[in-house]
Chains A and B, each alone.
Chain A
Amino acid sequence: MTRRSRALVGALALAVPLALSAQATAANTLNSRLDPTTRVAVQAIVDSARRAKLPTAPLVDKALEGAAKHSDGPNIVAAVRQLAVELGQSKRVLGGGASTAELQAAATAMHAGVPSRDIAVLRSAAGPHRRVTLPLAVMTDLIGRNVPVATASQVVVGLARGGAHDSDLTMFERNVRLDIERGADPSAAAQTRARGVMLRGTQRPGTRPPGNQ
């Protein structure tokens, strides 16, 4: 046997146990956290999502979260199923090129009440090369802080369209949060802080001024 043949056989001999071990570990994770009925139902949803070329990790995460929070089986299955639907809608809106993080952020935004139409508008406003993960997370956060969905959507789309960077959005989210914690009206805080970001943006080279697209 030549040296090359020996190397090939050695590599294959190493790969077989590794592949089998990974498979066993993966199967055990769900087994150890969920009761058999819930596990079978979750696995069926995961398999179905995989066939639809959706990311399956968020679905398993959702099930594990439910188990960690001692939720009952039917509730876990319902949450996982709902997330699968939202991931499918996110993929339709954002397209096949969207990352798992983007799909997950979009699904979370939909769960918070953002219409898929608004997510499509954000996708378009951000431009083809910009990830929309952070804008979606900020949009969801605003809704979580009692900013009306329409206002949150309009503000974040405006910021994305104006060329606001992720660092601008992070600062914006932080300032709105602090304003609300100090007693400001959530909607007014979001709109005022957004106006501030846009004003700063117009003074920065390479940033599109608002209303000029």
Chain B
Amino acid sequence: MSDDNLFDDGVIERIADELREAERPSADFDARVMASVRGIARARRRERHGLWNRVTQPRTITVRPWRAGLAAAALLLCATLVGWGAHAFARMEAAAPATLASSGSQRIQFVLVAPNAKKVAVAGDFNGWDAQHPAYQAVHRGGGVWSVTARVPVGHHRYSFVVDDSLWVADPTAPRVIDDDFGTTNSAIVVEPEIR
């Protein structure tokens, strides 16, 4: 083919006609374009709000000095309180076992037949072995029968009746504890959690 043929008017005209003709997009062109646009928007949103990006991307945080001071003080106070709390709990556990032995308790009736007694109380590890505890003072019901109903925490407990503030008497109707450390036998009670 010679150069003259390349620039033949007819050829040029045909090329020009092709170029002048309007581009006809395929039927799904609009949908594909819009999908691409939405995809870009989603990607940007992920980039901006994604948890990992939030955590890892550097950002500038503005803090007011008084608020930072307050937060630091609160943190210090919390740490101190946790320490105090643990210590206090441990001490409370040691010194007030009856109230911390368990979260639950049950009402237990203690009965002693002591016709000659003038006073009967119950002392045990659920009341700090305090024979003067007001909630554990038995009442004379007549005929030498003394009784008191009181709350006892869930757990294994040792106790005794104290007659006339001086005589320690094991509960004759309860299991015994071989417990001669202090010269008297105690009774045992196992209080189970209440089934609701």
Contacts and interface: CB of A to CB of B under 8 A. Distances in A.
Interface stretch (A104-112, A117-125, A188-196): A104-112
A15 interface: yes
Contacts of A1: 70
A92 interface: no
A44 B81 CA distance: 24
Given A26-B88, A26-B92, A58-B97, A65 B125 contact: yes
B93 A56 contact: yes
B175 A68 contact: no
A9 to B, nearest CB: 7
A109 to B, nearest CB: 9
B179 A23 contact: no
A66 B180 CA distance: 11
B81 A100 contact: no
Interface string B89-111: 11111111100111000000000
A57 B128 contact: no
B123 A108 contact: no
Interface string A29-41: 1100000000000
Contact of A101 (B81, B94, B95, B155): B155
Interface string B174-196: 01111101111110101010000
Interface in B124-148: 125, 128-131
A20 interface: yes
Nearest to B155: A101
Nearest to B83: A19
A168 interface: no
B168 interface: yes
A157 interface: no
Contact of A64 (B128, B175, B179): B128
A143 B179 CA distance: 11
A119 B69 CA distance: 57
Contacts, number: 155
B94 A141 contact: no
A69 B93 contact: no
Given A26-B92, A27-B95, A71-B182, A12 B177 contact: no
A12 B183 CA distance: 48
A166 interface: yes
B54 interface: no
Interface string B155-185: 1101000000000100000011111011111
A144 interface: yes
B77 interface: yes
Contacts of A99: 155
Given A56-B94, A137-B188, A100 B101 contact: yes
19 contacts: A5-B70, A19-B88, A22-B88, A22-B89, A27-B95, A30-B95, A56-B94, A57-B93, A57-B101, A59-B94, A60-B94, A61-B97, A64-B125, A100-B101, A101-B155, A133-B155, A137-B156, A137-B190, A141-B188
Interface of B: 70, 74, 77-78, 81, 84-85, 87-97, 100-102, 123, 125, 128-131, 154-156, 158, 168, 175-179, 181-186, 188, 190, 192
